[in-house]
Amino acid sequence: MELWTLTVSSPRRSASFAQAAEAAGWDGMLVVDSQNLAGDSYVALAMASTTTTRLGLGTGVTNSVTRHPAVSACAIASIQRLSGGRAVLGIGRGDSALAHLGRSPAGVRSFERYVRVLQAYLAGEAVPFSDLRFHEELAPPIAELGLADTPSESRIGWIADGDAPKVPVEVAATGPRVIGIGARHAERVMFTVGAELERLQWGIETARAARSEAGLDPDGVRFGAYVNLACHPNIDTARQMVRGGITTFARFSVMHGDVSGPVSDDARAVLEALHSTYDMRKHTRADSRQAQELTPEFMDRFAIVGPPEHCIERLRSLEGLGIDKVIVSGIGVGGGRPEANVSSQLMQNEVLPVFS
């Protein structure tokens, strides 16, 4: 099972962060794509590729609204070429990137169409103009220019040149419809449902069923998970380290008011309270109103918090379900607060070697 770390998009810090992550033993690094809150993700990934040789690099996650699919494909394919084949494109319906534009997550149907077109671009295939209808509709048709000849379809020709493999697409998913989109169109479904085995098992069964209904091999897609994790001998300290991050990921399970996936009555009450109190202006912050709605019991189930042996046991249980990639949110690679440095060192010295 691969363990990747998640960080913000920082053009100034990304190179050193990636170098430290590779030295620590992480398999990869994803950067958040949220234009109003951090720097450009592809600039950060390009910088990170210059200081690493084996570290996987990708978005965690981009969305289907702020960039045209041709632009997203071109950007991540450039990282793939620059890094020697280490790139991955993580994509979801959007959260903070859209909230700061006054918008909610993209509709499910438009998201599926975007992923389908994106995959065609990444495979070097032609996309009929009639299949686009994204941002390019803001401009009039090229036929109005009266040129002697014009393109008849859309294709990123240079992607097929060279020997870099196709960039894999990973769909971050919580609800059944988006899980189905990932299962049908992506190389991997990345569940954002927490670390509880029952919820992850539900996600896997939902994905396999979606592939079967589409006439596809149910074994033809891989599974991963985004997990809030803090490795620390003091459980209260560990909980506090991931409290803000949990609010972000847990809210996905109640994004539109209805809870997705199996939950206990107590967990449902926490999720519903989280939905009604969420303040996007304090997104990911442990001192936010929404963070105070989290109970210790909820955090212990939804996240992985505790000493190294506990973290290893919980991660092993995910691996046993068939999860082959975990994106860890909550641990940096040093240089932060004392408790974060302790967590980083425990992860580096005791947890990562187990899964290497």
Q: Are strands 222-231 and 188-191 parallel, antiparallel or unpaired?
A: parallel
Tens digit of pLDDT for each residue in 286-309?
A: 999 999 999 999 999 999 999 999
- Closest CA relative to residue 253, chosen from 327, 169, 179, 331: 179
- Closest CA relative to residue 196, chosen from 243, 244, 250, 234: 250
pLDDT of 337: 83
Name residue, tokens 């620390």.
Answer: 232
DSSP assigned state of 172: E
Q: Which two tokens stand for residue 219?
A: 């074994």
Sites in the chain below the pLDDT cut of 50? none
Q: CB of 261 within 8 A of CB of 288? A: no
pLDDT of 161: 84
On average, the pLDDT of the chain sits at 96
Q: What is the pTM of this model?
A: 0.96
CA 163 to chain centre: 26
Length of the chain: 356
